[in-house]
Amino acid sequence: MAEKKKSGVSKAIKNRKAVPGKMESECLIQILGTNNGYHYFISPLGELRKIHETQMHEAALQGLFGGKIQWLQKYFPAEAHKGKTKTGAEFNVSMARNHLIQRCNEQGLFDETAPKRSIGVWKDKLSNKPIIHCGDKIMKNNKWIKSGFYEEGIIYPAEPSISKPADEPATLEECREILDGLKLWNFELAQGPEIALGLLGQSFIAGALDWKAHSLFYGPQGTGKTTLARFMSAALGPMAHPPANNFTEAGLRQSMSNQARAVLLDEMEADGTHGTMKAVVRMMRQMSSGEGANIRRGTPGGHAQSFRLNGSVMMFCILPPHMEPQDRARITRLKLLPLKSPADMTDNFGVEHLIRRTKDLAPKLWRRAIDRLDHFTSACSTYKSYLTMNEGLSSRAADQISTILAGMDIILFDGPPEDTDSREERIEIIRPLIDEWTVDEEENEGEQCLVKLYSSPLNVYSRDENKTIGSIILEALDSQNGQFARDALKQTGILVKDFHTQEPYILIANNHEGLHRVFRGSKWEGGGWITALRYLPGTGVTKNAVRFAGTQVRATIVLHHHLPLKGE
């Protein structure tokens, strides 16, 4: 009997070598490769599995195959009295492990940082067509296929399923229902509903876009912000994470990673130090372009973790967090005023009916956005060219505005603008945004730094009296009575020059303890103010060291037209 069983095992091994094609085709898992002792597979359910070579025991292999071990039994049968598992599975664990390790090595080194595309809308780099990931199924080239595969260096893992887009897109009449719904809110800008609709439209397909427009809706209590968040969430359907009202950057990073869906953050209030919200805003800034943010973090065990964040973010709050100009160019702010008809939002039947109807339309709205990706791309390009050439906006500002315009375009129109008149007519809808960005862009890094310097308090006379550095500079410009103020500024690292002329200027020390105190905790700390001030037109550096109340250092020259003005 032993001889026969041994002969049977030998025959199975020979068959395994003789028909590798059949063996591979019958295997339920996908073998991806190896890296640093780990071996990578895609399970029958479509999950990415990472198993260390020392952990490829019986239970791990059973789990890898989802308990369907017939393939293991067929090609790696247990020898008599050898390899028989305690559970009675009867496959040769050692031989199966060795085969899988060999196959992983044949596949080569696997890049464990390879991008993963999970739930959301993505763009196929070859065809420029959208890829729709709905968890268990993926629409690629207009065909639904099973998720869980590795293609062109990208992993498409399986996830719990979500609802799919409708077969038919929303009609223009149905889209106008959404615009009419937005008009229930009292936006400070008359064009607020159209701008909000543009932000909504691009959010359906933001993961497939080169630029994602984020937004901030803010206003006092009683403006319906939370209800607006629910409305936006209902319109986006499965293309939005449920609204969150208690979150951290780390929590968002982990829950959003590898997905391309909109994120709605309610109660995005400024905190005392801007710490938590500042981190969230910084994350949003990184998500704006390309395939979003690619964040690497170390673990306590010394391993690296990758987080890829894609999609647009909508925020709702009373008191907005502080934003730098580079953030304001990526986050469109819309102010809400108290409701004109509060009954529209307090009447439960009316509100719930609106949200239910919007939720019913969501799959059709999603389909409309997907079907019009080419329309979006064409319109966005047209608008961006116009905004940069005719309005003088920077590329970054034009990206934001053209994305919003194109998002509105695919919801309200059946095609991109065909002529100059229609293009300019649509652009005029959001004229206030263009004017706002023009003002924002005039403030460069150096001007931000000066604002921080001039608005910082300085104790001059006593413990009980603080003045801003800007107000003290104005006092120092008084040639008759400004000596005390000029002496105080010297102690801080600022020297007022030519104060008796029509063109006074100041010298700001490149290294001074007083300035280190002023900028501590800001992005210009540690001498960062030196580089920032060089962005100011006409600034320079002294050739020789300058004396500041006993300290001699070189200084940055800030000309008179950058000095504070009376009444500011």
User: Mean pLDDT of all residues in the chain?
Assistant: 86
pLDDT the model gives residue 80: 62
> Measured between alpha carbons, how far is 252 from 305 in angstroms, rounded to an integer?
15
CA separation, residue 357 to residues 176, 178, 233, 240 (Å): 13, 9, 12, 17
Helices (H) and strands (E) in the chain, counts: 22, 24
pLDDT greater than 60 at residue 132: yes
Query: Is-contact 284 214, C-beta < 8 A?
Result: yes
pLDDT the model gives residue 364: 97
Which residues, 6 or more positions from 362, have their beta carbon under 8 angstroms from its beta carbon?
Answer: 234, 235, 236, 237, 238, 239
pLDDT the model gives residue 253: 83
pLDDT greater than 70 at residue 86: no
pLDDT greater than 80 at residue 400: yes
> Could you tell me how far CA 68 lies from the centroid of its own chain?
40
Radius of gyration of the chain (CA): 31
pLDDT the model gives residue 298: 58
Name the token pair of 108: 């080569």
pLDDT greater than 70 at residue 89: no
Q: Which residue has the tokens 């920077």?
A: 394
pLDDT greater than 60 at residue 392: yes
Give 51's strand partners.
Answer: 39
> Measured between alpha carbons, how far is 106 from 100 in angstroms, rounded to an integer?
10
pLDDT greater than 50 at residue 83: no
List pLDDT tens digits, range 541-568.
Answer: 999 999 997 789 999 999 998 998 875 5
From 200-209, 241-250, 293-302, the region with the lowest mean pLDDT: 293-302
> Measured between alpha carbons, how far is 394 from 172 in angstroms, rounded to an integer?
33
Domain 172-293+307-441 falls in which CATH fold? Rossmann fold (3.40.50)
Strands 494-497, 546-548: pairing kind: unpaired
pLDDT greater than 90 at residue 185: yes
Name the token pair of 235: 């319109």
pLDDT the model gives residue 330: 86
pLDDT the model gives residue 460: 66
> Measured between alpha carbons, how far is 388 from 434 in angstroms, rounded to an integer?
11
Instruction: Find which of 83-92, 323-332, 427-436, 472-481 is predicted with most confidence, using mean pLDDT.
Output: 472-481
CA dihedral 35, 36, 37, 40 (to 10 degrees): -20
The SS3 assignment for 489 reads helix
Name the token pair of 94: 């050692």
Q: Provide the sign of the torsion angle of the four alpha carbons 253, 254, 255, 259, taken in this order.
A: positive
Q: What is the pLDDT confidence band of residue 97, given thresholds at 50, 70 and 90?
A: very high
- What type of residue is 201? G
pLDDT the model gives residue 279: 81
Look at 418 and 86; give whichever has higher pLDDT. 418
555 backbone dihedrals φ, ψ, rounded to 5° = -140, 160
List pLDDT tens digits, range 1-34.
Answer: 444 444 444 455 455 554 567 888 899 999 999 9
Instruction: Find which of 9-23, 130-144, 264-278, 310-324 is predicted with most confidence, using mean pLDDT.
Output: 130-144
Instruction: Find which of 169-178, 218-227, 340-349 is predicted with most confidence, using mean pLDDT.
Output: 169-178
Task: State the average pLDDT over residues 350-373.
Answer: 94
Task: State the average pLDDT over residues 429-433.
Answer: 86
Task: State the average pLDDT over residues 141-155.
Answer: 92
Q: What is the pLDDT confidence band of residue 301, given thresholds at 50, 70 and 90?
A: low
List pLDDT tens digits, range 264-287.
Answer: 998 776 554 445 677 888 888 888
pLDDT the model gives residue 363: 97
From 7-21, 128-142, 432-446, 491-505, the region with the lowest mean pLDDT: 7-21
As a whole-number percent, the residues of the chain with pLDDT over 90 amount to 57
Task: State the average pLDDT over residues 144-172.
Answer: 94
Sequence spans of domains, the chain: 2-107, 120-156, 172-293+307-441, 445-562
Q: What is the pLDDT confidence band of residue 118, given thresholds at 50, 70 and 90?
A: very high
CA separation, residue 446 to residues 470, 511, 528, 536 (Å): 15, 17, 11, 5
- Can you give the three-state secondary structure of 163-205, one letter per residue? CCCCCCCCCHHHHHHHHHHHCCCEECCCCHHHHHHHHHHHHCC
> Measured between alpha carbons, how far is 498 from 487 in angstroms, rounded to an integer?
15
